[in-house]
Amino acid sequence: MSGENIKEKEKKQKSKYEILLEKEKKLLSAGGKDKIEKQHKEGKLTARERLQLLFDDGEFEEIDRFVEHRITEFGMGDKKFLGDGVIVGYGKVDGRLVFAFSQDFTVFGGSLGEMFAKKVCKIFDMAAKTGSPIIGLNDSGGARIQEGVLSLGGYGDIFLRNVRYSGVIPQISAIMGPCAGGAVYSPAITDFIFLVKKTSYMFITGPEVTKAATFEEVTKEELGGPEIHMEKSGVAHFLAENDEDCIEKIRKLLSYLPRNYLEDPPFIPSEDPENRKVEELKSLIPEDPNVAFDVREVINAVVDRDSFFEVQSGYAQNIVIGFARMAGKVVGIVANNPAYLAGCLDINSSEKAARFVRFCDCFNIPIITFVDVPGFLPGTAQEHNGIIRRGAKLLYAYAEATVPKITLIMRKAYGGAYVVMGSRHLLADVVLALPQAEIAVMGAEGAVDIIFRKEIQSSPDPKSAREKFINEYKNNFANPWKAAALGFIDDVIKPEDVRIKIIKALHTLEDKVDKLPPKKHGNIPL
């Protein structure tokens, strides 16, 4: 080959290299400088900036960088962007492999089209094959109208993967901008949803369609803003101040989760002694069953210091759920909270706790239940909205769970609510009770009014007779001794020993093996 031909060949090779550099530069510019600036003015990071915060420094590997849509109608043939509005890839978060996709609002408003969906589906499949969590950072205008049914089909393909991989790998969604129409269903199927104040919202039908259909005038925030889904609907699990706070909270959540259903959650050695006595429980849990207290104080006192990470803190606050560590091991906490509705179970709290129990069971996280429950909330609103069916979800979740289950009865455990809250009858492995625990069909006053109604009415001093019967009932039934005598409680313990006893039970149950009868799947009362 002549010298001239060699130089020409080198020139062509260099030209191809330069093309790559140009394409990479275009990728970084996303939808253009103006749109990036607008994103920042709205208080939002770009799709790429979010991924840089999520992953360890230099660890994110992007794939499908050069994918483009293939639509020519509506002038779309002249409107193409590399990546097609979504960034997908994988990398390390705190040294563990994680997959993610980040929707880019600067490109077609983050709208989903055929190739966009194919990229997301590819990353889902890779996450499942490698047994790794997947995180979706959502910031999208919804379906790409120009692509019609291709866009709808793309959503369907993603929904299928959400369902297929549910319980296989953890799935986390962050709503960091708009999420409307069919787009909300993918996050709804995932395990946890994060919202960001002032920038995110979720709804099936927007304010305009709502007004046209129902004549109801409502803003985006009133219809599906962060506060609505954190406090009223229960759709969301975590609320962040801004994008940076959201990413930080996602990283924290990941620290409690295993990579997949075959692994255990990450163990982090604790400096909090396993044999630490919790003296403050003597005063934190009042002996008087009618005195309210916030169960969060009890949880924080018992678990490893500063390890409790509450889930859905603003919703159905009569029950508290979240992750914590005990002796460095991750546990799931479910606790009645007497500070709200006296700790009664109702529709919202039952569904909130049931879904959390099922998640813990999916991913090998032991469940610790703190019980102080006077029963199910009475009233026509509860009955007419299906407390029978919907309350049964919690019963079903506990009965189905095969992970280690440890229950502490702090005070009241009345009626069917006693059974539902992780009792021995639903195969709790270890059931403990404090001396002030009351296990009964109902409270003493209600029981006496039923059992001794005739005696009280016929007494010359009905008030004194009623008080006498109430005291007798309390002495005979409003205590843990009858249940302990029947083996429904394994031990009655001192409050200061709660942490020690639970940790010993956790160690004992580390190698627990329990399996459900062979079947395709059960039929939870949805």
Catalytic positions, written as ranges: 181-182, 416-417
Task: Give the position of tokens 């006595």.
Answer: 277
Q: How far apart are CA 33 and CA 92, in angstroms?
A: 29
Q: How far apart are CA 437 and CA 103, in angstroms?
A: 51
Q: Which residues of 229-247 are buried (b: 16+ CB within 10 A; e: fewer)?
A: bbbeebbbbbbbebbeebb
Bridge partners, 178 (sequence order): 201
Contact partners, residue 450, CB within 8 Å, separation at least 6 = none
Name the nearest CA neighbour of 153 among 202, 118, 187.
118
Task: Determine how β-strand 134-138 pairs with β-strand 178-180.
Answer: unpaired
Extended strands (E) in 151-284: 171-175, 178-180, 192-196, 201-203, 238-240
Name the nearest CA neighbour of 250 among 334, 314, 190, 315.
190
Question: Are the CB atoms for 411 and 434 separated by under 8 Å?
Answer: yes
Identity at 125, one-letter amino acid code: D
3-state secondary structure (DSSP) of residue 90: strand
